[in-house]
Amino acid sequence: QASVEVIDTDTTESLAKRVLLEEHKLFLKVIHWFTQGRLKLEKNHAMLDGKIL
């Protein structure tokens, strides 16, 4: 997960754009971890480097 600051002047659309940008960044990291074998699904748990997420 990533944090996105909510600004007083935010609209639904402006906040959604910032959230989407962070989701895209995180998506690339997750794909990289998966292709390296660092991210796995074991016994219904997402595991990163052997630790439950």
- Supply the pLDDT for residue 1: 81
Listed by start position, the domains of the chain span: 12-52
pLDDT, one tens digit for every residue, the chain (53 residues): 889 999 999 999 999 999 999 999 999 999 999 999 999 999 999 999 999 99
- SS3 per residue for 1-53: CCCCCCCCCCCHHHHHHHHHHHHHHHHHHHHHHHHCCCEEEECCEEEECCEEC
- Supply the pLDDT for residue 39: 97
CA angle (7 as vertex; 25, 26 as ends), nearest 5: 10
